[in-house]
Chain A
């Protein structure tokens, strides 16, 4: 297969776009497509102070690289979760992140959950309650809370994350299977600033995961290949595999599934009652938004030490 733009061999075939590209033209397409996503959804305005959440994986490091190449100044934040069961996941992810930032002279902030709250995420898991009993839901709760807190407390106004189209399609699949209207209402490539919640943007939402992986490989980004030990058998990974099986037979299906959802929402054709733009309560302890009076879910979790 030849590159559509020149005559040399293609390294990747983007079947949903009927586009095969060589390394050079893939890079050019990738930067352009990301820039167009940023414009299309009004993600970044002049004067924004951006903080990107970096895990050491292909998506977050790739995105930091792309934003820098597009001329944006973005500082990084890495959260040490203390996940070291059966390997050195957190330690290795920190190593990749450090190296990436150092090589490019980028500013990296670090937050250590154990130092901050006296417990690592796996320790918190041991006293989690029903509904929080899955590693990823506890970990997700901690990350969401801490990313927002750190962004707000340090003078940033935009939090950037590396979610790709496969991540978003898997979330959409999870939530539409059970018609979780409040979650469906909240799923957008941009979550506007809502007082105590910083604006959140996902500039990689129009890329498939194999494209973000290809970008990292072709640009020699040293990312952590090892997976978090808790991700094996996770529901998200299961749904991603199902969607990829369908995509193999029907190229472009994932792309349309997620992007037409977003387009229809933007056009007002899908209205979810819980599409809330306001915050109901503020946590008594940390002051972050919560949907019930008293303590937020995060403060309840860390308050329940064994």
Chain B
């Protein structure tokens, strides 16, 4: 299983799927998050392996101008 951490929540998905698929399955869009594995930002084509822990960093911020 792959663990994806977003803020205080943990999600688990089976390994062997690319990051882009993981985003889709969690209902998240790529524009709103970056994914970090072992301290490195990874691109959406990278295949997630069983045992991976992925930190999802939200990129949206702010209120008014």
Contacts and interface: CB of A to CB of B under 8 A. Distances in A.
B64 A236 contact: yes
Interface string B24-63: 0000011111101000111111100000000001111111
Given A12-B41, A213-B34, A218-B41, A241 B65 contact: no
Interface in A49-64: 57-59
What does DSSP make chain A's interface, helix, strand, loop or mixed? helix
Contact of B64 (A11, A12, A59, A139): A139
A10 interface: yes
A133 to B, nearest CB: 13
A136 B63 CA distance: 6
A57 B44 CA distance: 25
A248 B33 CA distance: 12
Contacts of A11: 40-43
Contacts of A135: 63
B7 to A, nearest CB: 9
Contacts of A140: 63-65
A231 B61 contact: yes
Given A241-B32, A248-B30, A136 B41 contact: no
Nearest to B36: A217
Given A210-B34, A214-B34, A139 B63 contact: yes
A230 to B, nearest CB: 6
Given A13-B44, A208-B31, A240 B60 contact: yes
A247 B63 contact: no
Interface residues on A, range: 35 or more
A209 B63 contact: no
A217 B57 contact: yes
Interface in A117-171: 135-137, 139-140, 144, 163, 166-167, 171
Given A57-B61, A217-B57, A1 B43 contact: yes
A237 B45 CA distance: 27
Contacts of A218: 41
Contacts of B59: 58, 209-210, 212-213
Interface of B: 29-34, 36, 40-46, 57-65
Interface of A: 1, 9-13, 20, 57-59, 135-137, 139-140, 144, 163, 166-167, 171, 208-210, 212-214, 217-218, 225, 227-228, 230-231, 234, 236-237, 240-241, 243-245, 247-248, 254
21 contacts: A1-B43, A10-B43, A11-B42, A11-B43, A57-B62, A59-B62, A139-B64, A166-B60, A167-B62, A167-B65, A209-B31, A213-B57, A214-B34, A217-B41, A218-B41, A231-B63, A234-B63, A234-B64, A244-B29, A244-B32, A248-B31
Given A171-B65, A212-B59, 10 more contacts: A1-B46, A11-B43, A12-B43, A13-B43, A59-B61, A210-B59, A213-B59, A217-B36, A240-B32, A248-B30
Q: Which 7 residue pairs of A and B lie closest in terms of their CB atoms, listed nearest first?
A: A244-B31, A140-B64, A136-B63, A136-B64, A213-B59, A11-B41, A244-B29
